[in-house]
Structure 1
C-alpha cells in the first residue's frame, strides 16, 4: 500500500504507453530530466528550520526527489511510537533525530533496516549501532536555559540542583516530558545522578518532585516552550544547547544558557532507515546528510556538533567549553520507560 511504489509503477507504465504511441520522448516522469521521479518520507524530531534547509539542499542535489520529500516533525518519543504503531504497514523511509536509547529500542524491535553507508566507518563505536541499524549524526548537550531579558548569567542557576531552590517556584517551564526525547533523557540522567547504578530511583523521584514544585507549566511542544519563555511566563528551563542557540541567534529570542557545573548530559542524536520503507532512498538521504560540506554548514549555521570530524570548525564550536556529565546511557535505556511512566503518573503536577 505504500504510495511511492504505486505512483512509480503507474508512472513507468504510462511512460511505456506514450513511448509505444510515439507521442513523447520516452521520459517516465514530468521532472524534465529524463529520470524517474522518486519520493521520500521522513519522520523527524529535528527543528523544522533544519529539516527545511536540508531537504531543500537534498532536492537540489537530487532533482529526482524535487517536490516529493515529505517531512513530519514530531517529538523523538513520538517518532518511535509512530514507527512502532506502523510496523505492519510502514509509512516512513527515514527516522531522523532520535536519542540513542530510543533508536536502540527501535532496533531491538526490528523497526530499523540495517544498512552499510560509506560514512559508517568514520563514526566511533559508541555513537552507532554495531549492526548498522542507526548512526549518530550529532551530539546534543543538555543545559540550563534562561531568559536573558529577565535574568543575567550570574543570576541564573549554575547547576542542576540550583533549579530546586524555592526562589524559582513557578519560574520554570518544562517541555512536556513524555513526548520529548530531550526531556526524557534529562530526567533520566537526573535520576541516575542521584542513584548511579539505577537500582533505586527513589532519590531521583524526590529530586524531580522538588523540580515539579518549581515548575509553572509543562509546554505541549517546543514552540509552546519558546513562546512561554519569551513572554516570561517562566524564565528557566532545561533544554538542548542546539535549539537554544538556534532560537537566540536566528529567531532573536531572549534566550541563553548555562553549562551546568556538574556537567551536561550529552545525547547521541541519530538517524536510521525504517524497516519496510524505501531503503535505497533512505540510504541516499543519509549519505547526503553526512557529506562534509553540509555538516560544516549545519555546524556553522545551525549549531550542530557532528559525530564525524569536519574539515573546519566554526568559532562557536571551537570555543565551546563543553563539560560532559558521565552518564551510563545503557542503564538509562533499560529503565527510562519505567522511570518516565512513574514520573508521569505520580509526580507531574503533584509537587
Structure 2
C-alpha cells in the first residue's frame, strides 16, 4: 500500500468536511475465539446491480469475521430479507486469526467471505494467493488507497486508532494527549491492553509505534514498547475483558479503535472517552474479500455488494459510527460528529508495515511482553 499522502488528506476533507477517515475490525474490533454467531438475518435493498433473489434453490454463505455482533444485528437481518434463500453462518475471530485460518485451509477452503481485516492482513493474504479477484459495481467509488490494485480486497471503512480512557476517573486534560505520553511513569499500572497478537487493531497500533521511531532501526521502537510494557498493568484475553477491566477501574487507559470507543460509550453506556493523538493516528483500513476457492462464491459476491451499498454504509455510519471508505456517501446521510471531526493521519508506509509486522510482533511477544517492569 502506498504511503499516506496529501491526496489522502484532501479526499478525507472532501468527504467529511474535515480530513475524516476510518474502517472496523475489526479487525480491530474483533479478537474473540472462533465461534458460531447468531445467524438471524433480514434485509434492505442493496445496489441496483443486485436484484432480490428469487431463486428457489437454497444457498449457503460462510463468513469469517472480526466484526462485532452489534454490526451483525443490523446487516444480517437486512441481507436475509433481501436474499431469503441464502443461509449465513458466521465465525468470529481476530483479524490475524482469520488470516491464519484461511491460510491453513487453502487446499480446502471452508470460508466464502472475509469480513473485517486490516490492510496488512488482507495484503498478506492477497500476496499468498488466498483471495479471489472480484471487481464490484462500486469499484470506482473506493479510492486507490483503500483497495487492492488487482481487486482482491476492498476497504469497507476507515478506522482511526486512538487513546481510550475511563471518563469517570480522568478528565480529558488528565488523559495522555499523544503517544509519547503513554510511556510517562505517571501512568504506570494505569494502562490495560487487549492481547496484541490475535488482534489486527493492536498489531497495527504496535507496528505503527515501531515504524514512527524508524522502520530501518526497529530497536528504537522496541525500546519505546518496552517502556509502554512497563506502564501496562495487564494484557486482556479479548475486548470483553478489556472493557471489564476499564469499567472496574483496574486500568483507566487503553489503546483502541475509535469506532468501538464510540459504540461502547454511546450505545452500551460504558464510561469511555477518547483522545485523538496530537501527532496523528494510524488510520486502519478495515476491509472485505472473497476467499479463493470459495464453495459459495455467488453468495459471497452478493453479500459484498449488499454490505458496501450506499444505503448500508450510511446506516452503519449513523447507528454504528462507521466511517465509510466510499466517497459517494452524501454528507447529509452522515452523523454530525463525523462531518466535523478532524482526523490527522499518521504518516505510515503500509507496504513496509505489512512486510515487517510478523517479525516485529514476534520480537515483541518473545522479548518485550511482560518484561518491561524488570
Asked if TM exceeds 0.5, the reply is yes
Give the distance between the partners of 2:126 and 2:299, measured in 1 at CA: 19
Q: Tell me whether 1:105 sits opposite 2:124 in the alignment.
A: yes
Partner in structure 2 of residue 70 of structure 1: 89
Higher deviation after alignment, 251-260 or 312-321? 312-321
Higher helix share: 1
Aligned match of 1:286: 304
CA contact (8 A) 1:93 1:274 kept: yes
Give the corresponding residue for 1:43.
Answer: 64
CA drift of 1:319 comes to 1.4
User: Are 1:158 and 1:258, in contact at CA under 8 Å, matched by a contact in 2?
Assistant: yes
Q: How does 1:265-276 map to 2 (within 5 A)?
A: 265-276=282-293
For 1:327 and 1:300, the matched residues in 2 are separated by 29
Q: Which runs of 4+ in 1 moved over 2 A?
A: none
| In the alignment, structure 1 residue 235 sits paired with structure 2 residue 256 | no
Deviates most, 47-56 or 73-82: 47-56
Report the secondary structure of 2:217's partner residue: coil
| Gapped regions of structure 2 (runs ≥ 5) | 1-53
Which has more radius of gyration?
Answer: 1
Query: By how many angstroms is 1:34 displaced?
Result: 6.6
Out of 301, 304, 314, the position equivalent to 2:319 is: 301
1:51: Cα distance to partner? 2.2
Distance (whole Å) between structure 2 residues aligned to residue 231 and residue 61 of structure 1: 42
Segment drifting more, 37-46 vs 341-350: 37-46
Q: CA deviation at 1:328?
A: 1.1
1:216 aligns with 2:233: yes
* In structure 2, distance between residues paired with 1:132 and 1:280: 16
- Name the residue aligned to 2:4: none
Q: CA RMSD in A?
A: 1.0
User: Could you give the per-residue CA deviations for residues 65-110 of structure 1, whole angstroms, max 9, x where no partner exists?
Assistant: 2xx2111111111111111111111111000111111000001111
**What TM-score does the superposition give when structure 1 sets the normalisation length?**
0.88
2:182 corresponds to which of 163, 169, 174:
163
In 1, the alpha carbon distance for the partners of 2:55 and 2:155 equals 35
Answer yes or no: is the 8 Å Cα contact 2:63–2:91 preserved in 1. yes
Instruction: Give unpaired runs (5+ residues) of structure 1.
Output: 1-32
**Residue in structure 1 matched with residue 76 of structure 2 by the alignment:** 55
TM-score by length of 2: 0.83
- CA contact under 8 A between 1:93 and 1:279: conserved in structure 2? yes
